[in-house]
Amino acid sequence: MNRKEFLKMTAGLAGGVAGLPLMRKLAGAATAEPGLPGTVGAISAAAAARTTSAPLETLLAQAAAAGDDDHFWKLVRGQFLLDPGWIYLNFGGLGSCPLPVLNRLIECTQAEERAPSAGHDEKPWQDVKEKLARALGQTCRKEDLGFIGGATEGVSVIVNGLALKEGDEVITTTHEHVAVHSALLNRMQRNGIAIRLFEPDIVSGLGNVDRIAKLITPRTRLIFISHVTCTTGQLFPVKEIAALARSKNVWFALDGAQAPICVPFDIAETGVDFYTCSTHKWMMGPKRTGFIYVRPGMLDTLRPQTVGGGSSERYDAAKGEFVFHPTAQRYESGTQNDALFYALGAACDFVETIGADRIWRHNRSLAERFYQELGQIPGVERLSPEEEAYRTAMIGFRMKSHAHTQIGEHMAKDKIRVRPVTEGGLNSIRVSFHINNHNGDVTAILDSLQKLAGVKP
C-alpha cells in the first residue's frame, strides 16, 4: 500500500475516531462558546461536523445568507483553542491554528507515524501549492512557489542566493525585522556589501518611493523591504517601488511575513522579483511553514544555497552534471514534514470558506476603530501611517508617559497580549487584529490604555 492509499484509508478513522481523544485533550482550553451551534461541548465545530450533518462551511454560509454577522464571527471564533481568559492581539507575532487545520495536522501526522515513508506524493503536495497560489492572486502559479520553514529562511534564501559582491548596495528600511537586517549584515561581513537605510515615511505613502529613489546609485543591486512592516503595520506602495526598481535595473524583494491575508493583494501584480512569507501568522497554518515566491523568469537569478533531494531535475557526480528543478521546488530540499504543509492546505481552505475579503474588512474595521479612538487618548503617539490607504490590521503606538515595557506589563495585567516593538529604536507597541477578535476586544484595550493614561479610573 502506498502512502496515498494509506492516507485515504486512515483519513476517516483519524479524524472521526482516533483524532477525537487528542482533540478532547487539546480542547481542554478551548474557547467553546456556550450554546453555539457547531460547538459541541469541548469539541470544535470542525470535529463536530464529522459527526453531525452540518459542516462548518454550511453553518457559515447559513449565517452569511441570514445576514447574521455576529453569529458568523462567533462560529469563526469557536474554531480556536485560544485561552478565553486572554485577549490575543498578536497574530502578527504568531498565529493560532483553527481546528480544521489542527485536525488535518493530527490526521496526517498519525498517518505518517503509522507508515513512515520518505518523500511525499506529488499530487497532494501540488494540490496545496495550487490552493496557496489561489490565495496569492489570480495569476500566481504553483510553479512559482516553494515551501520553506518561514520568512527567516526565505529572507536568507534571497539574500544569500543573489550574486552580490563587494561594494554592491542594498536598500532597506530601519523598520525591518531582525531576519532581514541579520541576513544583510551577514553578507556585509562575508562579502562586503553595503546597506543603505531609510526611515519609512508615515506621512506620505508615496514618499517612500522618493526616499528609495534618493538612495539609488550605480552600485545599487537590490531593494529589500517589508510588504507590511512588523513595527507599525505600514503597507508600502509596492507596485510603484517595483516600477522604480525595474527602471533602474535593480532587484526587488519583499519580506511578506505580515502581508498575505493581513492585506488583500495579487502577488504577481506587485511586480516583485522575490517574496517570502511565514504562513504560521496571518494565514493560520502550522508553525514552521512558509513559502518563497519567485517571479517567472527569475529562478536562475536566485541560486539555492541549500540543495539536495528534490532541488534538482537531474544530477550526476561522475559526469559533473547538475540541473536545477525547473520550478521553485528547487528551494525545497531533503525530507519535509509533509503533515505541516497538508495542514497549510486546510488553512487555505479555511480562509477561502470565510472569504479573504471578508476577513480584511472585519480586521480593518477593528483596527480602524482602534486607530481613531487611540488618537483621543492624551499622550498617545500613533505610529501607523497617516493615510488610511497604507494602514492595515496592525496598529503601532507609544506613550510619552510610559515606556513600551510598562505598557506591555500593564496590558498583561489586564490579560491583553500585544507585541513590544524595539526595531528602529521605536520602543513602541504593536496591536494585531484578526478573526479571533471582536469589538469587545477593541473596547477592552482602549479601556486599559485610558486607565494607564489616567483618564479612566
Interacting residues toward ligand PLP by CB under 6 A: 150-152, 177, 179, 226, 230, 255, 257-258, 278
DSSP code for 219: T
Which C-beta is closer to ligand PLP: that of 63 or that of 254?
Answer: 254
Closer residue to ligand PLP (CB): 29 or 178: 178
Using the minimum distance from each CB to ligand PLP, give the nearer residue, 289 or 437.
Answer: 289
- Grid coordinates representing 243 are 516600477
> Which residue shows C-alpha cell 507596485?
239
Q: Cβ of residue 54: shortest distance to ligand PLP, in angstroms? A: 35
Q: Which is nearer to ligand PLP, 172 or 448 (CB)?
A: 172
CB of 177 to ligand PLP, least distance (A): 3
Q: How far is the CB of 230 from ligand PLP (least distance, A)?
A: 3
Pair 429, 404: CB distance under 8 Å: yes
Please identify, using beta-carbon distances, which residue of 144 and 255 lies nearer to ligand PLP.
255
Rounded distance between C-alpha atoms, residue 97 and residue 106, angstroms? 12
For residues 44 and 15, what is the distance between their CA atoms, to the nearest angstrom? 12
Shortest gap between Cβ of 120 and ligand PLP (angstroms)? 22
The nearest distance, CB 213 to ligand PLP, in angstroms, is 23
- Cα–Cα distance measured from residue 108 to residue 159, given in angstroms and rounded to the nearest whole number: 33
Give CA–CA dist 345/436, Å, rounded: 20
Query: 257 or 268: whose CB is closer to ligand PLP?
Result: 257
- Per-residue CA distances from 440 to 70, 250, 369, 412, 430 (Å): 12, 46, 11, 17, 18
The Cα–Cα gap between 353 and 53 comes to 17
Q: How far apart are the first and last CA of the chain?
A: 67
In the complex, what is the shortest distance from the CB of residue 401 to ligand PLP, in angstroms, rounded to a whole number? 27
User: Least distance to ligand PLP from the beta carbon of 210, Å?
Assistant: 23
Give whichever of 74 and 281 is closer to ligand PLP, judged by the CB atom.
281
Please say whether the beta carbons of 444 and 414 come within 8 A.
yes
Q: How many helices (H) and strands (E) does the chain have?
A: 16, 15
Between 38 and 396, name the residue whose CB sits nearer to ligand PLP.
396
For residue 245 the three cell numbers come to: 526598481
Task: Give bridge partners of residue 88 from the DSSP assignment.
Answer: 417
Smallest separation, CB 11 to ligand PLP (Å): 29
Residues 6+ positions from 152 with CB-CB distance below 8 Å = 179, 278
Residue 151 or residue 426: which is nearer to ligand PLP going by CB? 151
Q: For the chain, what percentages of helix, strand and coil (3-state, to nearest 5) are there?
A: 45, 15, 40
The strand pair at 380-382 and 169-173 is best described as unpaired
**Residue 31, φ and ψ in degrees, nearest 5:** -90, 50
**C-beta of 177 vs 382, nearer to ligand PLP:** 177
The least CB distance from residue 3 to ligand PLP, in Å, is 28
CB of 278 to ligand PLP, least distance (A): 3
Strands 290-294 and 145-148 come out as antiparallel
Cα–Cα distance, 284 to 210 (Å, whole number): 35
Residue identified by cell 477525537 is 20
